[in-house]
Structure 1
Amino acid sequence: MEEVNVTSGFILLGFSDLHYNHGAFFSTLLVIYTLTWMANLLLLSSIKLSSQLHTPMYFFLGNLSAVDISFSSVTVPKLLSFILYGRASISFLGCFLQMFSFLFLGTTESLLLAVMAFDRYLAICNPLRYMLLMNDKVMVMLAIICWVAGCLHSLLHTYILSQLTYCEDRLIPHFFCDMTPLIKLSCSSTTLAELLIYTEGSTVVIIPFIFILISYVLIGWAIVRMKTSSSRSKAFSSCSSHLMVICLFYGTDISIYFRPPSDYSSQYDRIVSMAYTIITPMLNPFIYSLRNQDVRQALKKVIMQCFSHRLP
C-alpha cells in the first residue's frame, strides 16, 4: 500500500457522511464560536480591569478563559469549512500541529481545573492562611506548571503518532485530527501509541480528577461543619460553578478516551467531541458569570465603561 508522506496529508470527512441541514448547522456553529470569543474576552477584560477580581481564583479563571478561546479555535474554523465544502484536506504537518494544539490545551485545562479545586480547598479549609499559602509566586508557578506539563504531554503523543506509517486510505472520519482516528488509520504497529494513551495519557486526566474529588470531599466536610447557614451557602456558591465546569469537561473526556478500542464509533466520537471542543468553551464563562455575584458586578462595570466611552 502507498504510504502517506509529508506532502500527501489526510482528508478530514467532518460530518459529510451524515444527513443534516447545512445552513442551520453552519449558522448555529458560527453563533456559538462568536459567543465563545465574546464571552471569554469579556470575562478576561473584567478580571483585568476590576480590582476586586485580582485574586488567585480569578487569575486561574482567566487562564481557563484563555484556554477556552484557543481550544475552540483549534477545531471550529476547520469544521466551518467542512460544512461549506463537504470534506477538507489537511497536510501531514498541519494535521499533527492541530493534534498537538488540541492535546496541549485539553491537558492544560484538566490541570487548571485541578489547581482551581486546590485553590478552593485552601480558601475554605484554611481561610486564615489562604493568602499566605496561595501568594502571587505560588499562583503564577502553578499556572506555569499547568501550561508546561500540557505542552510536554502533547509533544510526547504527537511525536509517537507522527512516527507511525499511514497508508493509502487517508480518510479521517472526524472533524479534526484526534489520536484514535489516526491510530485506526495506521498500517504499522500501534502498540506503543495505545499503551501511552492508556498509561501516560490516563495519568494526566485521572490523577487531576482524583485530586479534584479528594479536594471536594474535604471541602464538603468543611462546609458541613460550618456553624451558620450563611457561611455554608457562601462557601458552596464559590464552588458550584467550578463543579459544573468539571462535570462538563470530565464527563465528555472520559466517555471518549477511556473505553475499550472495540467500542470505538466515529459517529459517537464526533458528536461527543463537539460537546467539549465547542459547547463547553462557550458555556464556561456563562456558568461563572451567572452564578458568581462578583463576576456579574465586574461585567456590568466593564460594559458600562464601554458604552460610556462610545457616547459623545
Structure 2
Amino acid sequence: MKKVKEENHKEAEMKVQVAVGFHRDIDLLSSEQKLIVGHNCFLDLANVYNKFIGPLPATPEEFAVSVNKCFPHIIGTKILLNTNSMLQNRMKRSRKSLAFAFTSFCPQIATGSRNNDLVSLSHVKVDIEVGDSRSSSWNPGGKHEAGYDAFMTGCIFAQLCSDLGINFKLHESSKQLALINEILQKYVNRLYLSWMHGDDIDLNTGIKVADSSPSHSLKKRYPKILFENIVIIWGFPSKLKASEVRECISKVFGPNSVISVFHLDAIAVFVLYSKTELVSDFLLVRDTLERGDGAILVLHPLATYTFLGWYIMKLENVAI
C-alpha cells in the first residue's frame, strides 16, 4: 500500500508539473529579475501578462506599473535604435524592423558568412546550439517564427551593447547590467506604445510620453487613430479595392471625409473618418437607403457597390 501511495503521489506531481508548464519559466524570470530584451515588445508583454499573471489592467498606465512589479528590468532594442544618434546613423531612419536591424548590425550571422570582411573584431561572435549539434552560423530562413525572432533580437542587443562600449564581463548578472550600467540606464523600462507615432511609456512610473522620437514619414503615412471615427465594413465582393470604397463614400460626404481605408482581408475594411459625426451620418444614410425604394436607390452613390448588402459596424461597439 505504501508503494502504491508513493507511485500515485509521483503521478500526481507529474500531472501538476505538466499543468504548470511554461508558467515555471515565467515565474523564474520574474523571481530572478532577469533583464528582458525585446524588439517593440509591448504587445508581447501584454500577452505574457494576460496568459500567466492575470487579466490585463484597464489602461496602459496601470499595465506599465503592474508589469514592472513582475519584470523590473525590460529593454527594447527599437528604443535603442531610435534614440541613440550613433546607432541611428548606421540605419535608415524609416526602417527599424527586426529583420532589417539584424542584417544591418549582424550581417555575418544573418548571411551565415565566414567572410573576413564581415567577421571582424567589431562584430560579436555568437555560438548557436541546435539540438545536439553546434555551429557558428545560422539559417536565416526562419524569420517571423517566434524562436528565430527571439534569436535575432538577442543578437542585435549583444551587438548594440558592444557598439556602445558595454563590457558584459564587468557585470555578474543581467540584473546588475540593467541597474549599474550608465549607458543602458536611460533605455531600460521604456517601451513604445505605438510604433507608428513614437509614443512611449516609462514602465517604472506609468507616465506616457507622446511623440518622443517619431519618424516624420510614418506620422504622415499613419495618422493618429481614433476608434470612435472607425467603422468596419465587410461582406463585399473580393475584387473591390479599398480605393473604390473610399471614392464611393467621398462622393457623398466630401473628398476630405475619409482619412484612410485599410483592408482587413479580401472582403473587409476599416474606414477611418476625419470626424466622429461622419460615422453617425454614414450609418444614418445607409439606414435611410435600406428602408427606401425607387429612383433614390438607383441614383445614390452608396448604392453603386451595393452597400446595402454589406455588414457595417462602429468599431467602438466591437470587443477587440
Higher relative contact order (Cα pairs below 8 Å, separated by 6+ residues): 1
**TM-score bracket relative to the smaller structure:** under 0.3
Q: Which has the higher strand share?
A: 2
- State the TM-score, normalized to the length of structure 2: 0.25
Which of the two has higher C-alpha Rg? 2
TM-score (norm 1): 0.25
- Which has the larger share of helix? 1
